[in-house]
Amino acid sequence: MILCEGGQIASYGTRGGRAEIQRKDKDKEGHEALVEMASDFELEPLAAHFFPDCIGAENVDWRLIALEYFELGEAILHGRQVELDGLEGLKDVAAVYAILESSLAGRSVSMQEIEACQVYAYQQEIDEALGIPG
């Protein structure tokens, strides 16, 4: 849920779930209203094929994975960079883990601490269970 002075946006469930928007002093509106707010936005052709209503669908994971594989294949064939590389993915995951590590540490943590495994209690338990040396 995103709250602000002008209202809120709420989305529940897993990937592909629908969202609602409620503007200040107005009734709630469904996912379609959010899509309509960005009516000039167009999906790339393959994404439009998988998501013709610009809204998540059942079994969304395979659709998203197919889009990622297509992007990777195009990058390899044409010598281009992928939109988000492994380093960006690492930083995205580190941001989520920072919340978990911060909770266990009982203090704020920096992204540098997380990326360098200087704060590691949450991940250490997982690594030990998987037999990954620390």
For the chain, the structural domain boundaries read: 1-41, 42-83, 86-130
Of 44, 42, 17, 47, the residue nearest 31 (C-alpha): 17
Per the rule left: phi > 0, alpha: psi between -120 and 50, beta: everything else, 106 is left
Q: Which two tokens stand for residue 111?
A: 């992204």
pTM of the model: 0.54
Query: Given a cut of 80, is residue 12 above it in pLDDT?
Result: no
pLDDT at 107: 96
Give per-residue pLDDT as tens, 47-103: 888 887 766 667 788 888 999 999 999 999 999 999 888 899 999 999 999 999 999
Of 55, 46, 53, 64, the residue nearest 11 (C-alpha): 55
pLDDT at 124: 92
Residue predicted with more confidence, 100 or 19 = 100
